[in-house]
């Protein structure tokens, strides 16, 4: 069945699988039963802004009031919530709470290369190449990294 209007998933939105993984990690009280969809909408607004770099006031109406989205992003950046969410996702991924090196995304696969001091030596030895076993967690980690990097750029 085709989903119309507000409920249609866009490329910047969390998938259902990503949302299911993120909900248990959210701060206590962040997702109340009656506001479950609203929380997802606001987080999707933050992800949209991080991906597109559009001005806050230009957020599409499907994310709700731009001020709400902006304040959530600022509050969660200031109190470290985005960083904690990223560490929790990475811990669930088995990366020990951090991903070092370059992360390369290909359709159906996410690769992390921890090359250390010499890129050439690592390539020759094949060291550091790791296939991430859970593409949902890998995708979620990349999305959270975008939000954190956006906050760093904008101060």
The pLDDT tens digits along the chain (155 residues) read 343 444 566 777 999 999 999 999 998 765 554 465 789 999 999 999 999 999 999 999 999 999 999 999 999 999 999 999 999 999 998 855 444 444 444 434 444 444 444 445 444 555 555 444 689 999 999 999 999 998 787 65
Q: Would residue 120 count as lying in a domain?
A: no
Q: Would residue 124 count as lying in a domain?
A: no
Q: Would residue 128 count as lying in a domain?
A: no
Q: Would residue 117 count as lying in a domain?
A: no
Q: Would residue 118 count as lying in a domain?
A: no
Position 155 scores a pLDDT of: 56
Q: Would residue 150 count as lying in a domain?
A: yes
User: Bridge-partner residues for 106, per DSSP?
Assistant: 109
Range of the domain at 94: 5-98+134-154
> Total structural domains in the chain?
1
Position 31 scores a pLDDT of: 57
The full 3-state SS of 3-25, as one line of letters, equals CCHHHCCCCCCCCHHHHHHHHHH
Backbone CA torsion sign across 137, 139, 142, 148: negative
Q: Would residue 109 count as lying in a domain?
A: no
Helix (H) or strand (E) holding 117: none
Whole-number Å distance between alpha carbons of 81 and 151: 12
The whole-model pTM stands at: 0.69
Position 14 scores a pLDDT of: 93
Q: How many C-beta neighbours within 10 Å does residue 64 have?
A: 15
Q: Would residue 16 count as lying in a domain?
A: yes
């Amino acid at each position: 069945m085709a989903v119309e209007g507000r409920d249609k998933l866009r490329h910047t939105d969390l998938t259902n699988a990503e949302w299911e993984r993120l909900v248990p990690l959210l701060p206590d009280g962040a997702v109340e039963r009656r506001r479950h969809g609203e929380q997802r909408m606001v987080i999707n607004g933050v992800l949209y802004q991080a991906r597109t770099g559009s001005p806050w006031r230009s957020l599409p109406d499907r994310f709700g009031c731009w001020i709400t989205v902006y304040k959530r992003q600022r509050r969660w950046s200031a109190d470290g919530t985005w960083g904690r969410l990223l560490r929790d996702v990475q811990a669930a991924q088995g990366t020990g709470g951090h991903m070092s090196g370059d992360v390369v995304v290909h359709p159906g696969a996410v690769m992390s290369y921890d090359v250390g001091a010499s890129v050439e030596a690592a390539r020759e030895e094949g060291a550091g190449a790791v296939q991430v076993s859970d593409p949902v967690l890998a995708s979620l980690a990349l999305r959270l990294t975008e939000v954190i990097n956006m906050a760093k750029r904008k101060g």
